[in-house]
Amino acid sequence: MGRRPIFCFWRCCVQDEGGRVLREKLSQWLRPVVEGLGCELWEIEYSPGRGSGLLRLYIDAPAGVSVDDCERVSRAVSELLDAEDPIPGQYTLEVSSPGIERPLRTAEQFARYAGEQVFVEMVHLVDERRRFKGLLVEARPDAIEVEVEGRRHVLPLTGIRKAQLAPDI
């Protein structure tokens, strides 16, 4: 049997039987549920493990995320996941706020934080480096521009391994 496509995001790799990306499938199922509860599905992480994996959802809301929000989303998502059973084996569901060092993945997420400090790690070298910590100058549909020590770098979204806000605290 040949190897199936693997989709990597942040701390995990997901292999999906039908060759489709598990993450996208989960997003399609879970986004309407989360939005129906007045929150936004910010990010999905899945870490398979021996015996039990971890499915982590980050949610956001205009007024911030409370423990009650996390509990409501967790209950509703659990019901849907139990019915659809998209992840083989056992796993733990965790729902939380993305926090002040929130992960950034989509062009829309980057655009919201233009003018803020970010940390970006690339898959391959760009301008002879992989890591960039600086001002997010611009977010386009296919790339972001980050200014580090007075020099601007254009980073393609498809080449980003990890990105997050990096506020000066």
pLDDT attached to residue 116: 97
pLDDT attached to residue 146: 98
Residue 138 confidence class, pLDDT cut points 50, 70, 90: very high
pLDDT attached to residue 111: 97
Residue 54: pLDDT over 50: yes
Helix (H) or strand (E) holding 25: helix 22-36
Tell me, yes or no, if the pTM score tops 0.85. no
Mean pLDDT confidence for 144-167: 97
pLDDT attached to residue 1: 34
Q: Residues, the chain, total?
A: 169
- How many percent of the chain have pLDDT more than 70? 88
Mean pLDDT confidence for 57-70: 95
pLDDT attached to residue 24: 84
Question: b/e map of 16-39 (b: 16 or more CB within 10 Å)?
Answer: beeeeebbebbeeebeebbeeeeb
Minimum mean pLDDT range among 45-49, 108-112, 115-119, 165-169:
45-49
pLDDT attached to residue 168: 85
Q: What is the DSSP letter of 142?
A: S
pLDDT attached to residue 101: 95
pLDDT attached to residue 142: 97
Mean pLDDT confidence for 122-145: 97
Residue 3 confidence class, pLDDT cut points 50, 70, 90: very low
Domains of the chain: 6-96 (3.30.300.70), 107-165 (2.30.30.100)
Mark residue 10 as left, alpha or beta (left: phi above 0; alpha: psi -120 to 50; beta: remaining): left
* CA pair distance 83, 108, nearest whole angstrom: 31
> Shortest CA distance to 87 belongs to which of 45, 43, 32, 41?
45
Residue range 75-110, pLDDT digits in tens: 999 999 888 888 878 889 999 999 999 999 999 999
